[in-house]
Homo-oligomer: A and B are copies of this chain.
Amino acid sequence: MNNLNAFFEPKSIALIGASTKELSIGNVIIKNLLHYGFTGPIYPINPKVDEIRGLKAYPSIIDVPGEVELAHIVIPPPFVPEEVENCGKKGVKAIIINTAGFKEMGAEGQALEDDFLARAKKYGIRIIGPNCQGTINSDPKYKAYCNFTFTFPEEGYISVVAQSGGVGAVIMQAFYDWGIGMRMYTSNGNASDVSIPEVIRHYGNDENTRAIVLYVESLTDPKEFMDIALEVSAKKPILAMTAGRTDKGAEASRSHIGGLAGSISMEVIFKKVGILSFTNLEDLCNAAVAFAYQPIPHGKRVGIITNTGGPSVIAIDELVSNGLEVPPLSEKAKAILKTTMLESASINNPLDVVATAGASHFKSAFEVMMNEENVDNIYVNFVTPPFVDCESVAREFAEAAKNTKKPIVCNYMTDKQKWHATSKILKDGSIPCFDFAETAAKALAAMVRYNDIRSRKKGEIKQFIDSDKNISKIIIEKAKAAKREVLTANEVYSILGAYSIPVSEWRNASKAEEAVEAATKIGFPVVIKADSEKVIHKSDVGGVALNIANEDQVIQTVKEMQEKLKIDDLKFFIQKQQPKGLELIIGAKKEEGLGHLIMFGMGGVFVEIFKDVKFNIAPISDVEAQEMVETIKAVKLIDGYRGNKGVNKKLLIELIQRVSKLVSDNPEIKELDINPVFAFEDRVCAVDARIIL
């Protein structure tokens, strides 16, 4: 038995803090349980009354005669720990604490939360909340509405978990308005015990959940989330949204519920673990409708059937913008359609059957699209002309959708009241019907996106036998012992060298003669950098000299730096001056609880102005590294462009993987920046780098 079962399949429920006051949570929850038809006994707990909503009330949970599997607690915070203790004594398995006023209100609340958690642990009780709505299970065996909200879903195939109850309510109501039902629902507020990943796993194991909808603002344990999401997303689609895309939004998000926000890393996490990410809740809900009704497609080619012109132009714009294709029809298909369509029909893709088309025309259109090898998905624009027998047309839709392996979505343009019978045929036929062409197209695009996710290659995390972890460990230990956070150039380049990351050749020197010797060995021109712990921003204080062309210049430069910087033990870092290659940047940044976020993209002005960079989370596989390189906007410059030959892409892909390996081996590294990396036709070369512990 899964350990969350008591929340979703409780045999009996007690409500600690039940109230006779109509407009109170302690009354609404009982009303909801009754109204929804909970199949087990309900025990209101209230020492002052005998009966609430016709149910016998008990002074304490201890006094309940039967077993209690799940308890709601809605009393003020100070009284919660003791009631959790009582629940333990009673043998309650799970508690939903709806009451707010704990961790989110400061230290005092945190202490209360710690208190009730310790007591729950003692008795092996699991807790959802506090400061939460609770759960819902629409399964007719339970009909458990353990929640104070107001939407009563029919049975369905989508399960929802939302960190924000408000957003959860919007999602639930959207599904309700669609008439598509819902399977299970959870909003766990402060998440003091049961976490969102645990809920996702529960839904993942539930046979009747076809798609999972997730709204999340922050993650307590990103690793746990990623592991579970990766596992579940391989089995069924997880449609997710986070908020805080803008600085202002992120600010509000943090203030809303304690925890880490930061939507960039969240989107990167979603992508890494195969979660379908949305930036718009309505788009998410629409896509969920398609997932609930239709099979996952096997490709991105769309056949369009339409009985009106304009909306198919809009649909094509939206489909193509989302990476889908609208291929031409085969000659075979056209030949058939020429015999079956009306004369004014446009036999093409989009197939415009024209407004006067009836059932036989739609029937043939569906048959042809179903048999067409170049078509993986079917998109329909269906306006209900008052001069057409639309019910017969709808029956052809339903017939086509039976056992289809190609998903069908429909932009259904009608007055649903007047065309009630037609609408019902479409609904009973599991045709997802949308009011706008864009909406239908976007829902279909989401399904194609999930097909890409489930069929994507994970790739391999390369181990690079030519890398030497020991060198980096020794260097980092030494720096830590000396309480240094910023590594010296020597240290940085030694670590890069240990991972066979190609760097511009370098040597050390402590005086002019050594510098001349180093430069000669490296070969002119060289760069000379002041090398001392005391100099952090070298360029700002004249500690960097470029394009040193000969011995005299070396001597001159060293002298100047010595005079300018006035540091006793000043040393010098001599490095080969590289010709200018394609300027790229690779960075790594440690995110608490997550590991390292790796960034790759165009360097120089590109990174700052066009933000032409891609992120992923270490460890990065070969497939992921390749995708990072190939999805930056400036990939044309890498591939070669207008006479330009381009640069060695394979080495760049390898470089990303080596950096990923480096930081994964050395979790002490907080930040690593290689900026710029110069890429050439035959090689890549790290020109400047820094590491912060």
Contacts and interface: CB of A to CB of B under 8 A. Distances in A.
A668 to B, nearest CB: 31
A435 interface: yes
A310 B386 contact: no
B166 A308 contact: yes
Interface string A175-186: 011000000000
Contacts of A610: 610, 612, 633-634
A459 B163 CA distance: 50
Contact of A316 (B252, B308, B309): B252
B165 A25 contact: no
A295 interface: no
A91 interface: no
Contacts of A488: none
Interface stretch (A411-419, A461-469, A524-532, A568-576): A411-419
Nearest to A284: B436
A437 interface: yes
A582 to B, nearest CB: 11
Given A148-B386, A169-B308, A170-B437, A248 B316 contact: yes
A249 B310 contact: no
A608 interface: yes
A39 interface: no
Contacts of A414: 150, 173
Nearest to A354: B100
A161 to B, nearest CB: 13
Contacts of A421: none
Contacts of A25: 387
A608 B610 CA distance: 13
Contact of A28 (B244, B387, B608): B387
A217 interface: yes
A536 to B, nearest CB: 18
A384 interface: yes
Given A165-B308, A317-B243, A435-B170, A101 B150 contact: no
A418 B310 contact: no
Interface string A380-394: 010111111100000
A246 B436 contact: no
Interface stretch (A61-69, A253-261, A505-513): A253-261
A210 to B, nearest CB: 23
Interface string A290-321: 00000000000000000011111110110011
Q: How many copies does the complex hold?
A: 2
Nearest to A26: B387
B637 A256 contact: no
Given A170-B436, A344-B101, A605-B641, A415 B151 contact: yes
A413 to B, nearest CB: 5
A176 B257 CA distance: 39
A215 B257 CA distance: 43
A626 interface: no
Contacts of A381: 166
Interface string A112-149: 00000000000000000000000000000000000011
A471 interface: no
Contacts of A31: 386
A436 B279 CA distance: 12
A100 B317 contact: no
Nearest to A255: B346
B320 A246 contact: yes
A1 interface: no
A174 interface: yes
Contacts of A247: 320
A108 interface: no
A226 B249 CA distance: 39
A359 interface: no
Interface string A26-49: 011001100000000000000000
Contacts of A389: 23
Contacts of A436: 170, 174, 280-282
A439 interface: yes
Among A149, A173, A414, A436, the one with the most B-chain Cβ atoms within 10 Å of its Cβ is A436
B633 A321 contact: no
A234 interface: no
A458 interface: no
Contacts of A308: 164-166, 169
A612 B413 CA distance: 38
A599 interface: no
A314 B415 contact: no
Given A24-B387, A389-B23, A610-B610, A313 B641 contact: no
A23 B415 contact: no
A296 B256 CA distance: 31
Contacts of A454: none
A194 interface: no
A235 interface: no
Contacts of A612: 610
A344 B100 contact: yes
A238 to B, nearest CB: 18
A386 B414 CA distance: 33
Interface string A10-23: 00000000000001
Among A167, A176, A244, A310: residue with most chain B CB under 10 A: A310
A170 B609 CA distance: 40
Closest 5 interchain pairs by CB?
A164-B310, A166-B308, A167-B310, A249-B317, A243-B313
Given A148-B387, A243-B313, 17 more contacts: A164-B308, A164-B313, A167-B314, A169-B413, A170-B413, A170-B435, A174-B435, A174-B436, A176-B415, A249-B317, A249-B320, A256-B310, A256-B312, A282-B436, A605-B641, A609-B633, A610-B612
16 contacts: A100-B344, A150-B386, A164-B309, A167-B314, A169-B308, A249-B317, A249-B320, A252-B312, A252-B313, A255-B348, A256-B310, A256-B313, A281-B436, A282-B439, A605-B634, A610-B610
